[in-house]
Amino acid sequence: MKSYVFFFVIFSYAIINSQASSLRLFRERRADDPNETQKEFWKRGILMDIYPRSFYDSDGDGIGDIKGITEKSDYFVDLGVEMIWLNPVLKSPMKDFGYDISDFRAIDPIFGTMEDYENMLKEMHSKNIKVIFDFVPNHTSDQHEWFIKSVQNDPKYKDYYVWKDPKGYNSTGAPIPPNNWVSIFRFSAWEWSEERKQFYLHKFLIEQPDLNYRNPEVVKEMNDVIRFWLDKGVDGFRVDAIQNLVEDVSFADEPAAANSGITDPTLEGYYNHIYTLNQPETIVVVRGWHEILESYKDRFMTLEIYDEDVKVIMKFYGNETNPVSDFPFNFFFINKLSGRSDVTGTRLKSIVDLWLDNMPKGKWPNWVLGNHDRNRVSSRFGTDLIDALNMLVLLLPGTGVSYYGEEIGMVDAVISFEDTQDPAGINLGPDHYTETSRDPERTPMQWDDTENAGFSTASKTWIPVNENYRTLNVKAQNEASQSHIKVYKDLAKLRLKKTFQFGTIEFAVATDEVLAFVRSYEGSPTYLVVINTSAEDTTVDVQNGDVKLPDSATVVIRSSTGYQRGN
């Protein structure tokens, strides 16, 4: 394999003189903070997405749990991760693995107890690790007490969900759905209730009925849920599927999407979702949640939003006088890079510019490579690029977001249809399940080379462990002289320096093969990041770019293959 030149150099002097435009610079410095430390924890640390079912199994039942996460608290400390975001652990029938919640105030027994949660929070906080909870407001489980009573037309709960009469009846007397809206998981988004004689809306599974946020009582209920967990001590929320929260009152048919290439009208991608996504009322509801968080000390909220239009996403920041969230997740490294061939220096720069140039004044950026819903970074872009891409997201200005396993370069597993758990894959059947199943990126964490990768002592885990675990695991990489995890740890330490916490960014070089940028901050060392995105060794003259650079410098961090540090 060719060696790649992904490394950092530290200049022999502190400041770079440049006149780059403000759109190409980013600086966050608090005039009221003489010690120059980030007061907001979510600006300082790395946020790691933890899929609880797959992180660590403490009781040998084959499923990861809260005690398992607690037992691994020292791992986060050693890694340099200061925030963990837990995918749902609340009570659920698990039709969508926790995203169908039947009680917003209870821990599901699969993951443990409320006492386990409280112990985890205490342990994490004792080690200065913040805990972020998944908040799933768009829908509940069909087994939630609210929905059961809504089906029964209980006066209090009858309008807690989105109910509509049929458009009519077909020749056999079967009710016709109110419109052509489809579920994210395929087929109609409407399900008939024989008991109530109406359809209810479900943008996800049939077992996930949508809440009605035009009902003030629903807004109040969810406000109370947020307060419940804040009072319990949770440090913030990642809010799920926020674009879906409110629907247009016309309930009109949605038009087909132009040039989608999808010909099957039962699939979500066939339509342009002008009536079911990003309704203006959604912003109002989310702003109310942010106001609740502001009434507590040092709390945080981020939003899940997938949209091609950067202007739509930026609305979910709000502005300095009317904030909506601390930041919406930046998924452009996911959405706009379809594979290895897309990863070029010019492409990466354009994505960074797109976010920074459109971000509202005074707001904070973030960078995401992968998560529990997307194929793993190493599988999308190549195992040789994992160090380079980790360097990119962890040392750009803003908050770096990682998905567990990215620190060791985990790849997607091959999961048979018989072992498939994800309804998104099961709904497409054995011939097409791999097109949408999220199971390959959700396999158990690979801790060592023992049975089940050290994840569980069970005879069978909830989903198979990736077969490569005997060579790709945390223990092996910690013991190796060079490895992905060692690069990650060095990055986590480096990003805490003032230059990366507060400094400017300037691009020195951006070609199809190379991206190079400089981070600098007055009175602190200046760093150059050079990333080779090509599949070959590349020579680049970084002094021939737009930024003045010295004649020599020292390698501080490099990829796990490449030039030695200290050269």
Q: Catalytic residue among 96, 100, 210, 240, which? A: 240
Of 436, 361, 370, 442, give the one whose Cα is nearest residue 402: 370
Other CB atoms closer than 10 Å to residue 122's CB: what's the count?
A: 11
253: annotated active-site residue: no
Cα distances (Å, whole numbers) of residue 558 to 489, 493, 538, 555: 12, 14, 15, 7
Query: How many other C-beta atoms are found inside a 10 Å radius of the C-beta of residue 19?
Result: 5
**Residues 465, 466, 468, CA angle at the centre, nearest 5°?**
130
Amino acid symbol at 85: W
CA 531 to CA 350: how far, in whole Å? 15
328 forms beta bridges with: 303
> For every residue of 246-291, which 3-state class applies, written as one string?
CCCCCCCCCCECCCCCCCCCCCHHHECCCCCCCCHHHHHHHHHHHH
- Give the helix ranges, DSSP H, for 49-178: 66-71, 73-79, 114-126, 145-151
Q: What is the C-alpha separation between 392 and 407, in angstroms, rounded?
A: 13
Q: Which of 65, 100, 304, 506 is catalytic?
A: 304
CB 395 within 8 A of CB 500: yes
Element (H, E) at 175: strand 175-176
Question: Residue 339: what are its φ and ψ, rounded to 5°?
Answer: -175, -170
Could you give the 3-state DSSP secondary structure of residue 562? coil
Are 279 and 315 in contact by the 8 Å Cβ rule? The answer is: no
Cα-Cα end-to-end distance for the chain: 22
The H-or-E segment that residue 377 falls in is: helix 377-381
Helix (H) or strand (E) holding 474: helix 474-479
CA 364 to CA 362: how far, in whole Å? 7
Query: Is 304 one of the annotated active-site residues of the chain?
Result: yes
* Catalytic positions: 240, 304
